[in-house]
Amino acid sequence: MEFEKLISIAGQSSLFEILSKTKFGLVAKSLENGKKMPVYQSQQVSSLQDISMYTYEGEIALKEVFVRLLKKNEGKASVKHTDSADVLRKAFEEVVPDFDKDRVRDSDLKKLFRWFNQAVENGMTDPAALETAENQETDTSSEEPEKD
């Protein structure tokens, strides 16, 4: 899974996969219905790679949450985003036990589970690839520069 190719567009409920870049912005495909659409530079776009969830110790990257959900659910979809807030909170607490219950809103959890399930249903979740990418980020950030 190329996590950096997944984006969220303000005002849209679906996740989108970046297909190409153009002079006016991007061309993206909805994971919900498969339709392609232009994404203009004036639209508010967030890469899933840049999104994180609050914990009592700081923040946890959305990529790490996806890895944990994939492991817990053995690569299958999780609870539905339409389930009750209590069900969503309980499912999230199983993978991120120290999440900040005051700062993580019910709407955040609905988005998380909707996005996760869309990615799974579209075959865009490969636990090994996500873990490898996560490990590479950790390895490169802990490396010290070489001295001459």
Same domain as 27, residue 75: no
Domain contains 141: no
Q: Which domain holds residue 57?
A: 51-136
pLDDT value of residue 135: 56
Same domain? 59 vs 131: yes
Give the tens place of pLDDT for each residue, 132-144.
Answer: 545 554 454 444 4
* Cβ neighbours around 19 below 10 Å, total: 14
pTM comes to: 0.80
* Structural domain contains residue 72: yes
pLDDT at 95: 96
Residues 57 and 125 in one domain: yes
Q: Which two tokens stand for residue 143?
A: 């490396």
Whether residue 62 sits in one domain with residue 125: yes
User: Do both 80 and 106 map to the same domain?
Assistant: yes
Is residue 21's pLDDT more than 80?
Answer: yes
Question: Is 146 inside any structural domain?
Answer: no
Number of domains in the chain: 2
Shortest CA distance to 63 belongs to which of 143, 130, 120? 130
Query: What pLDDT sits at residue 148?
Result: 43
3-state secondary structure labels for all residues of the chain: CCHHHEEEECCCCCEEEEEEECCCEEEEEECCCCCEEEEECCCCEEEHHHCEEEECCEEEEHHHHHHHHHHHCCCCCCCCCCCCHHHHHHHHHHHCCCECCCCCCHHHHHHHHHHHHHHHHCCCCCHHHHHHHHHHHHHHHHCCCCCC
CATH at residue 25: 2.30.30
Residue 143 domain-assigned? no
Please tell me whether residues 21 and 91 are part of one structural domain.
no
Mean pLDDT is lowest, of 14-23, 58-67, 110-119, 127-136, for 127-136
In a shared domain, residues 59 and 123:
yes
Q: Output the average pLDDT for the chain.
A: 86
Integer Cα distance of 80 and 91 in angstroms: 10
- Residues 37 and 64 occupy one common structural domain: no
Q: How confident is the model at residue 127 (pLDDT cuts 50, 70, 90)?
A: low
**Alpha-carbon distance 87 to 118, whole Å?**
18
110 and 61 fall within a common domain:
yes
pLDDT at 22: 92
- 2 or 127, higher pLDDT: 2
Q: Which residues, in sequence order, are CB contacts of 94 under 8 Å at separation 6+?
A: 72
Report residue 115's pLDDT band, with 50, 70 and 90 as the boundaries. Answer: very high
Residue 110 covered by a domain: yes
Residue 70 and residue 125 share a domain: yes
- 113 vs 38: CA distance, rounded Å: 25
pLDDT of residue 143: 47
